[in-house]
Amino acid sequence: MIFADVILPLPLKNVFTYEVPEDFQDIEVGMRVIVQFGAKKFYTALVYSIHDKAPSNYIAKQIQDVLDSQAIVSETQFELWNWMASYYCCGLGDIMNSALPSALKLTSETKLILESVQFLKSDLTDQEFLVVEALEQRGELTLKEVSAVLNKKTIFPTINTLLKRKVISLLEEINEKYRAKTIRKVKMVDEGINELALKNAKKQKLIVDHFIKLGEELGTDAVAVSHILKSASATHQSLNALVEKGIFEIFEEETSRLEHFSSDELISFDLSPVQEHALTQIKADFEDKDVSLLHGVTSSGKTEVYIKLIREVIEKGQQVLYLLPEIALTTQIINRLRKHFGDLVGVYHSKFNNNERAEIWNEVQHGRRFPIVLGTRSSIFLPFNNLGLIIVDEEHENTFKQQQPSPRYNARDTVIKYGQLLNAKVLLASATPSIESYYNALLGKYGLVELNERYGGVKMPEIEIEDIKYVTHRKQMKGAFSPKLLQSIEVALSKNEQVILFQNRRGFAPVSECKSCGWTAKCVSCDVSLTYHKHQEVLKCHYCGYSEQPVKKCKPCGSLEVMIKGYGTEKIEEELQPFFPDAIIKRLDLDTTRKKHAYDGIIHDFENSNIDILIGTQMITKGLDFNNVSLVGIVNADSLLNYPDFRSHERSYQLMAQVSGRSGRKSKQGKVVVQTYSAEHEIIKSVKNNDYKSMYEAEIAEREVFNYPPFCKLISITISHKDYQLTNKAARELAIHLREAFGNSVLGPEYPVVSRVKNRYLKNIVLKIGKNLSLNKSKKHLLDLVESLNKLPDYTSVRFTIDVDPS
């Protein structure tokens, strides 16, 4: 007998053994199979290994079906998955869930059907009667349809009573999620045109004439039905009449969902001497190192260096993965790459629907169309078979780290491992590298290449620090704006130049507070204040999504003096407009970019000078390139500096330096105005002087003294439960056991900044793994402790979340 160990798309650490029926003896590792797990549920699983050993502690069920004719996940990918599972303390099922597009993961759907037993409708409750009546009309109902019939979310009590009385039964059906896209086309039958049949049929003859014309223009014998009807201004009825007369035939043809790009002439260019030197250095580094760090100031022309490298790689017949931290960046970069590589560039990110993602997966696996893939962190899971180069642009960005759900991996670090497995080279690049990457480069672990001047000799922006402590004291502030910032905006607009304003908080205002008693509007499920969104006229929690109507009267004291405090991007936009009534002002934040093509629209408008002032959150700090921006304003630098995290100074410098770099990129020096209450802060001075190295030296010295990365590894353990006392008790218990093993390397337990999310209380423990300790042994000991605690009756319902290398 043959058995297969399979990975299920569930948060389970183990693989499960199934018997391979005789019909499927040609099964291979990496194929998808349908298996039954539990009493009735069916899942798509991945074959992990094939062997002849039956499981010792349970009877193996049979594989129900095999979905693939060849493996869709390679052995190298499984090697990467195994490394991720070990390093990030998660299960292979978690990784499978993140890796495979949803369209490639089939699950069974529970449906309700009526039993044949007799029952009296008069015995049914109103809710039960509605379900039975709907089943009589439709034959079967999904759980979603039952919820719609009852107009409520809580449907299981009704279903359970119907099941107990055997009025209904449950059916599990496998649903095919991925379907190839087809287009209806029309072509002429072999016999040709029957002129007699078209006599006195002017509309039909017009369709035939347009068909012939379009066929000649497009060089094809088949034309899309929608195209021919639009061209001839005809109806389906007239076209169907031609089909009935045997003149035309309508058929369906499979087509791609993915956008095609065509260009008559692709662009070529020459590098500047400085860029050419950087390219030569990178290639020299790649001779004896797998990873090189390109540290180039903003607008130094790093993308042109990438393009030259990419061309050399694809000319060898290899693939390239170009990683970006944000979907917002793909809009500009994809346009730039396509001008050089045409339709060879594919895009992969979460704004694509499930079928589009599955289609790109198939194209990459078979080596068709896309030797270059541009994507966000999830693109590291694509099935490359001949990867030669991985570029990680803006490598310092914390959005490369997945926070929720598991696996909590860092894409930057993971692709370095992936590169080792595939023998591909990795280029990390940033104007403000992470402390860890720069440390590794100085240590010689990575190559280091520096571009210290802007392309074309353009000067770095002039950065002015506005100490709003004194401006506020003199009562010269106008809302969130100092006179210097407003004057600078006015000068820029008078020259028909554009302005970017950075405020790292979306919504209108973060706090609604009673002036009389100090009460603030808070989320019912999270320990955080509700943010006021004026455009939607709602108070919203940015952690769980809870919303309610704006508060006009204080709930505890009844006072009508409820004030909104603080500034979000929405409020900045509203307050700025009266100062510049003729300017077109737009926002770029999560609220304005929820739709699929919203990023593209805003960025396209700003590129084409259809927007004068763009107000944004972190989205506008990341690598965007605008020709006509002469002024950048940082509205409140202090909110970045004062965040309680050991990386806050590094992050503050990176954000401010990056957003400053959007100014004056092409022809002349730009200007930056930084509003702060901490003008003498060392980070503010480093930003003003464009001095990355002074920031790095101060940070690395401090981290060495207090033993923080890169001098140790951090593991964060979050303990959560709906019961406040139980959360504290479990956290204390775990901390005691950890201190017995790791001593003073254990920090906490402490409450995080937001100590309750979605009605679960949170406590954090941080474990420092120094260079004198084995990381693997430390993680194993931690996992054993957590597992033993979870088995105790008191703690079975407590959730322990392990995050290796927290961002």
pLDDT score recorded for residue 109? 66
- Within this chain, do residues 620 and 692 fall inside the same structural domain, yes or no? yes
**Residue range 5-18, pLDDT digits in tens:** 999 988 888 899 99
| CA contacts within 13 A on the Cβ side of 500 | 34
- Within this chain, do residues 638 and 653 fall inside the same structural domain, yes or no? yes
Q: Determine, yes or no, domain membership for 665.
A: yes
**Exposure string over 300-336, b if 16+ CB within 10 A, otherwise e:** bbbbbbbbbbbeebbeeebbbbbbbbbbbbbbbbbeb
Nearest residue to 327 (alpha-carbon basis) of 342, 348, 353, 310 = 348
Strand, helix or coil for residue 6: strand
Last residue of a domain, one of 701, 722, 754: 701
Nearest residue to 100 (alpha-carbon basis) of 1, 208, 216, 10 = 10
> Which region among 41-45, 187-191, 669-673 has the lowest average model confidence (pLDDT)?
187-191
Instruction: Identify the CATH number of the domain in which residue 349 sits.
Output: 3.40.50.300
- Within this chain, do residues 556 and 673 fall inside the same structural domain, yes or no? no
Q: Determine, yes or no, domain membership for 457.
A: no
CB atoms within 10 A of CB 475: 7
Q: Determine, yes or no, domain membership for 707.
A: no
Last residue of a domain, one of 70, 104, 138: 104
Measured torsion, CA atoms of residues 638, 644, 649, 650, in degrees rounded to the nearest 10: -130
- Within this chain, do residues 432 and 330 fall inside the same structural domain, yes or no? yes
pLDDT score recorded for residue 631? 92
Label residue 40 exposed, middle or buried (CB < 10 Å: 0-12, 13-18, 19+): exposed
Q: Could you tell me which residue, 529 or 1, shows the higher pLDDT?
A: 529
What domain range includes position 20? 2-104
Instruction: Identify the CATH number of the domain in which residue 162 sits.
Output: 1.10.10
Q: Domain tally for the chain?
A: 7
- Within this chain, do residues 286 and 199 fall inside the same structural domain, yes or no? no
pLDDT score recorded for residue 106? 65
Quick check: 801 and 718 in contact, CB under 8 A? yes
Percentage, residues of the chain above pLDDT 70: 93
Q: Determine, yes or no, domain membership for 367.
A: yes
- Within this chain, do residues 334 and 380 fall inside the same structural domain, yes or no? yes
- Within this chain, do residues 306 and 399 fall inside the same structural domain, yes or no? yes
- Within this chain, do residues 280 and 372 fall inside the same structural domain, yes or no? yes
* Mean pLDDT score across all residues of the chain: 87
Helix or strand (DSSP H, E) at 347: strand 345-348
User: pLDDT tier at 347 (50, 70, 90 boundaries)?
Assistant: confident
Q: Determine, yes or no, domain membership for 734.
A: yes
State the Cα–Cα distance between residues 57 and 38, nearest whole angstrom.
15
- Within this chain, do residues 574 and 557 fall inside the same structural domain, yes or no? no
Label residue 550 exposed, middle or buried (CB < 10 Å: 0-12, 13-18, 19+): middle
**Which pTM value belongs to this model?**
0.82
Q: Could you tell me which residue, 282 or 162, shows the higher pLDDT?
A: 282
- Within this chain, do residues 621 and 762 fall inside the same structural domain, yes or no? no
Secondary structure letter of residue 625 according to DSSP = -
Q: Determine, yes or no, domain membership for 74.
A: yes
- Within this chain, do residues 766 and 786 fall inside the same structural domain, yes or no? yes
Secondary structure letter of residue 551 according to DSSP = P
Q: According to the 3-state scheme, what is the secondary structure of 713-740? A: EEEEEEEEECCHHHHHHHHHHHHHHHHH
Q: Determine, yes or no, domain membership for 262.
A: no
Q: Determine, yes or no, domain membership for 526.
A: yes
Last residue of a domain, one of 56, 75, 104: 104
User: Who's near 491: CB < 8 A, 6+ residues apart?
Assistant: 631
β pairing state of 291-296 and 425-430 = parallel
- Within this chain, do residues 789 and 728 fall inside the same structural domain, yes or no? yes
Quick check: 368 and 662 in contact, CB under 8 A? no
Residue with tokens 């790109």: 360
